[in-house]
Amino acid sequence: MNSMTPNVGKPLDRVDGVAKVTGQARYAGEYPEADLLHGSVVSSTVASGKVLRIDASEALKVPGVVAVIDHLNRPHISSYDDDYSDDDAAEGSPFRPLYNDQVLYSGQPLALVIAQNLELARYAGSLVKIEYSAQAHQTDMLAVLADSHEAPAETPKPRGDFAGQFAQAAVQVDATYLTANEHHNPMEPHASTVLYKADGKLEIHDKTQGTQNCQDYLHNVFGLAKENVRVLAAYVGGAFGSGLRPQYQLPLAVMAALQLKRSVRVTLTRQQMFTFGYRPRTQQRLRLGADASGKLQAIAHDAIGQTSRFEDFTEHLVEWSGMLYQCDNVALSYRLTPLDVYTPLDMRAPGAGSGVLALECAMDELACAAGLDPVELRRRNFADHNGNEGKPYSSKELLACYDQGAAQFGWHKRNATPRSMREGKQLVGWGMAGGVWESMQMKASAKARLDAQGKLTVSSATTDIGTGTYTVMTQIAADAAGVKLADTTFLLGDSSLPKAPLQGGSFTVSSVGSAVQQACEILRGKLLESARQAYPALAGVAVEDIRFANGYLHADAQRIALADIAAKSADGFVEVQIDAEPSAKRTPFSTATHSAVFVEVQVDEALGTIKVSRVVSAVAAGRVVNPKTARSQILGGVVWGIGMALHEHSQTDHHLGRILNHNLAEYHVPVNADVNDIEVIFVKEDDDIVNALGSKGVGEIGVVGVAAAVANAIYHATGKRIREFPITLDKLL
């Protein structure tokens, strides 16, 4: 029994595209409700200390202001005195808004003004006076590196003899790289609309990457029964990791709704989008030792990242240096420096975005020191095993990424000598880097239902943060069930749907997609059972001679509409719900996506201005379910990588402990004028081990290695090695 597979692998348009471009798609802060109240957050202006007094008297005099909630008059929350967690928590004590009088960081929410409309709430918020007892603070990681401690991360143990092998290596690199704080800044700000129902139940529209994570969080924090809390996120206007943890607008909005027994919306301002998680600043020292032929003999990667004083945020920062290349002598270390700041948060390709940047810049320095082409150096150190795990890769077409990317880019024309290529007054540089990201699969559930009209509805509580989840799940479901794409609907973004993991880590297609595929295959089996009972002529037809396609069961000369089979079944429909988990055949293998990124820059010799004129990104990510949405993911990642290399930097005034450029005018991101030709190549990679779909995910890999390739191209153009990111004019001149 099989189904035709005409949809998976095709570059289909987004099924939610029309709703988005015509404004029909509603986001968390857009749901209308009669008598809806609006909340505005009043933020701390000091980085450390105590609140002595909050005077809301002037704010409460404003007509239309309903309440001002702070730590003294908030509703009683018993769990604020207990430990609670959410799916993406860091080790430590999670932040509790309006918990007590302690100020932990600048921008901390200290009060919530609730009024009849947003403008009134914001105005009244400006009238709230807060008196502090300020204490000394520290927000500069580099000033207190000595205060760092070992990160509670699963850092691989040392292997071999790094010190001995590095000391006798014919070619050595010892370099330190600095990366900056970056804030997520998705287009849609964080918002929560809490609809208070007559029976006391809450229906919540939240900006999140995991509706069930938010539901669990509210259950844990407020003691609310899960069946009384429904969290929805039908559309999410970008997130990149900022929606993995419930952000503080959610508990504040729920507090207000419970206290007032009214529906409440809290939306953060763009400035307040800089008052929670971010990609943390790092200092990373790379020591690479190689023999005269360029074969790696020793690798050490020592990293320090910043964290808050109340949680130890960890990411996969150094592991990549132990797995991307073949090397028997590896030493990895990762430390954290606590500061008076909010806890960092996973941000697109968390850890790899920063860690691979340092590794791939160091590899470029090693290529120069060894007199080798950067691509050739990487070829000579290709690893078919993950050295950290001692396991072979289920598939790894990285050599093909080098080949196809270099050919498309024209890498063979590169003159290796720095400052040797130019166009008029522009110095031209060509650089490249490799990329890697782990291919994970999580447990997930899905429900599939075919009704008497032949309509297939498949559901799972995952989200779509703009990645194309609606579309690829529809493609997978239609093919697996043998139903037309136009007759298939995928439901997501609702905590009441079958369980799904947070959307992140490039594991949505492998996890939820596998569940969707399995549910639809089992649905097909149930349809066949029903058909054999309703149509006796099918009794003698072998299973292998039956196929499902375009809404019909085909058997020999017979063609039976699936709608008719469903209509004749006992319930008038056929339904299946299943739980999927990673296959045991993954266990002996390491699974990862890989890429090779080639970049051309033009640097003005007199002014030092940098233009990224061309990028070719070759990606091996297993089976690509939708090349159109997948290409968009890589394009977005490349643009982000350009931003990481040249633009993005959340700048802190350490005297005040406050972020200076907390807006989109001064927090620089690449704009249209910064982005030129980007070519994406999906390298063919067959993998029947990683999951039944053979898909490895593309959400994260697009950004990995891009910033390093830009930096390496800048060195090739100018002969100047910049090791502090972003690479701005002042550093280059």
Q: Which residues are catalytic?
A: 700
Task: Give the residue from 289, 355, 354 showing the smallest Cα distance to 327.
Answer: 289
Query: Which domains, and CATH codes, for the chain?
Result: 2-6+442-581 (3.30.365.10), 31-136+187-239+243-274 (3.90.1170.50), 367-440+589-732 (3.30.365.10)
DSSP 625: S
- Helix, coil or strand: residue 605: coil
The full 3-state SS of 281-333, as one line of letters, equals CEEEEEEEEECCCCCEEEEEEEEEEEEECCEECCCCCCHHHHCCECCCCEEEE
Within 13 Å, how many C-alpha atoms sit on residue 519's CB side? Answer: 33
The full 3-state SS of 435-493, as one line of letters, equals EEEECCCCCEEEEEEEECCCCEEEECCCCCCCCCHHHHHHHHHHHHHCCCHHHEEEECC
CA distance 70 to 73: 6
Tell me how far CA of residue 303 lies from CA of 94, 113, 145, 334, 685, in angstroms: 24, 42, 11, 5, 33
pLDDT computed for residue 89 by the predictor: 81
Interacting residues of 726 by C-beta distance below 8 A, sequence separation 6+: 180, 643, 644, 645, 646, 647, 648, 649
Task: Give the residue from 50, 71, 67, 57 showing the smallest Cα distance to 131.
Answer: 50
Q: Which residues of the chain have pLDDT under 70?
A: 1-5, 81-86
pLDDT computed for residue 44 by the predictor: 98
pLDDT tens sequence across 258-280: 999 999 999 999 999 999 999 99
- Helix, coil or strand: residue 363: helix
pLDDT computed for residue 557 by the predictor: 83
pLDDT tens sequence across 200-224: 999 999 999 999 999 999 999 999 9
Interacting residues of 284 by C-beta distance below 8 A, sequence separation 6+: 176, 177, 178, 179, 301, 302, 303, 304, 317, 318, 354, 355, 358
CB 276 within 8 A of CB 41: no
Handedness of CA 464, 466, 470, 476 (dihedral sign): negative
Q: DSSP letters of 75-86? A: PP-GGGGS----
Burial class (CB in 10 A: 0-12, 13-18, 19+), 227: exposed
pLDDT computed for residue 6 by the predictor: 87
CA distance 306 to 293: 37
CB 264 within 8 A of CB 194: yes
Handedness of CA 162, 167, 169, 171 (dihedral sign): positive
pLDDT computed for residue 83 by the predictor: 61
CA distance 413 to 625: 34
**CA angle centred on 8, ends 568 and 692, rounded to 5°:** 85
Six token digits for residue 101: 């009088």
pLDDT computed for residue 697 by the predictor: 96
CB 548 within 8 A of CB 2: yes
What strands, in cross-sheet order, belong to the sheet with 592-604? Answer: 422-423, 426-438, 592-604, 610-620, 677-682
pLDDT computed for residue 78 by the predictor: 78
CA distance 438 to 656: 39
Could you tell me how far CA 434 lies from the centroid of its own chain?
Answer: 19
